[in-house]
Structure 1
Amino acid sequence: MFAGRYLWWMLMGIGIFMFATLSLDYITWLTIQLSGCGEMAGTCEPALRLMSGVLKPACIWTAIGVLFMATLLRLHALSLIWFWGPIVAIWFVASTPILLFLASDAAALTQSATLAALPVAFLFLAAFAAYLMFALEDGDMLPLAASVPLRLTLRLTAVYGALSGAAFMPELSRIAGTLLDMPALSVVIALAQPYLQTVLTFGTGSMAPAYAVLAAFIAALAASLLPHAAAPQPSRSTIMLRRLRR
């Protein structure tokens, strides 16, 4: 998937999410008012159940699916799927609770409540998704391959972001145990998460190290977009000499 199509699908997914979050409740209210079912007790429940209990969750999960699949297809087109695919999947899983939280009642949410529920994995995902919108395939160099130190920095910070997403996601143990039908796995994850949190925060209990790593990740992404000197191409005589040796 090239950059223009990826951007189109990402905007489509964001548009579906914004529609379900901000507009669908008003459409439901308008539908109830126009239908006149409020005059009789209990007659509005089927419409409310359909629009708020079925249509709204369907739109939200469709938007998340569109964003996720578009990102994976973009990574596949750039030949980055094997390393970055699992990282992006973890970021998406860790970011799903905040998306559902925003979709619950966007009009009543406060800035402090939103920031308190915002996982650092969502910020990693947003920065990486924005990076993929650039036409990376148009240059002579491969994406995320500007230099070995820069590539190593990107991978290490991305792994840290994935581990942070897994460590600070309270629902991870329940989701993993339910999907895999392994209650013991839920117990293991619940016991391991506090130790992983301690390691990732360097024993401080603060999210400052995570935000510092996020800043390094964003800086490395920005640096990889800068023009770099291309590797010198072998001369024609060198190529001919190699063929004669064979």
Structure 2
Amino acid sequence: MFAGRYLWWMLMGIGIFMFAALSLDYITWLTIQLSGCGDMPGACEPVLRLISGMLKPACIWAAIGMLFMATLLRLHTLSLIWFWGPIVAIWFVASTPILLFLAADAAALTQPATLAALPVALLFPAAFVAYLMIAVEDGDMPPLAASAPLRLALRLTAVYGALAGVAFMPELSRIAGTLLDMPALSVVIALAQPYLQTVLTLGTGSMAPAYAVLTAFIAALAASLLPHAAAPQPSRSTIMLRRLRR
């Protein structure tokens, strides 16, 4: 998936999510007012079940699925799917609870406490998605391959972000145990998460190390967009000498 098409699909997914989060509640209210079902007890139940119980969750999950699949297709086009695909999958899984919360209570976006509590796992994919919207394949260098130290920094910070998503997702143990039908796995994850949180926060219990790694990740993404010196091309005499040796 090329950058222009990827941008279009991402805007479509974001638009569907915002429509479900911000507009469907007003549409439900308007439908109730116009139909007059509020005058009869229980008469509005079918409308509420259809819009709030079926249509809104379907739009939200469709938007999340669209964003996820478009990102995977974009990574496949850039030949980055093998490493970045699992990382992005973990980011999206860890970000889904906060997205569902924001969709259920869109007014929370205006509250400073909610903005301050946004998980790091949501900020990592947001930065990476913004990077993928750029036509990075049009340059001379392959995407995310500016230099070996830069590639290492990107991968280490991305792995940290994935581990942070696993460590700070309270619902992970319940979701994993339910989907895989393995109650023992839920217990293992619930016991391992506090230790992983301690390691990722360097024992401080603060999210400052996570935000420092996030800043390094964004800086590395920005640095990969800068022009880099291309490798020197072998001279014609060198090429002829290699052919003679063969």
Return the TM-score normalized by structure 2.
Answer: 0.97
Secondary structure of the equivalent of 2:23?
Answer: helix
Secondary structure of the equivalent of 2:176?
Answer: helix
Cα distance, 1:109 vs structure 2 = 5.4
Deviations 1:166-221 (A, max 9, x none): 00000010111111111101000000000000000000000000000000000000
Question: Distance between the aligned counterparts of 2:69 and 2:168, measured in 1?
Answer: 24
Secondary structure of the equivalent of 1:227?
Answer: coil
Deviations 1:127-156 (A, max 9, x none): 000000110110111111101111100000
Contact 2:72-2:85 at 8 Å conserved across structures = yes
Paired residues, number: 246
Gaps spanning 5+ residues in structure 1: where?
A: none
Cα distance, 1:52 vs structure 2 = 0.1
Question: Distance between the aligned counterparts of 1:241 and 1:2, measured in 2?
Answer: 41
Contact 1:177-1:185 at 8 Å conserved across structures = yes
Q: CA RMSD in A?
A: 1.2
Contact 2:108-2:114 at 8 Å conserved across structures = no
Cα distance, 1:108 vs structure 2 = 5.4
Question: Distance between the aligned counterparts of 2:110 and 2:142, measured in 1?
Answer: 42
Secondary structure of the equivalent of 1:71?
Answer: helix
1:108 corresponds to which residue?
Answer: 108
Question: Distance between the aligned counterparts of 2:117 and 2:96, measured in 1?
Answer: 11
Cα distance change on mapping 1:10 and 1:173 into 2, 3 Å: same
More displaced stretch, 8-17 vs 115-124: 115-124
Cα distance, 1:38 vs structure 2 = 1.6
Contact 2:102-2:108 at 8 Å conserved across structures = no
Cα distance, 1:35 vs structure 2 = 1.4
Deviations 1:45-92 (A, max 9, x none): 001111000000000000000000000000000000000000001100
1:170 corresponds to which residue?
Answer: 170
Question: Distance between the aligned counterparts of 1:181 and 1:22, measured in 2?
Answer: 35
Contact 1:98-1:117 at 8 Å conserved across structures = no
- Identity across aligned pairs (percent)? 90
Question: Distance between the aligned counterparts of 1:108 and 1:42, measured in 2?
Answer: 29
Question: Distance between the aligned counterparts of 2:100 and 2:132, measured in 1?
Answer: 24
Question: Distance between the aligned counterparts of 2:154 and 2:173, measured in 1?
Answer: 28
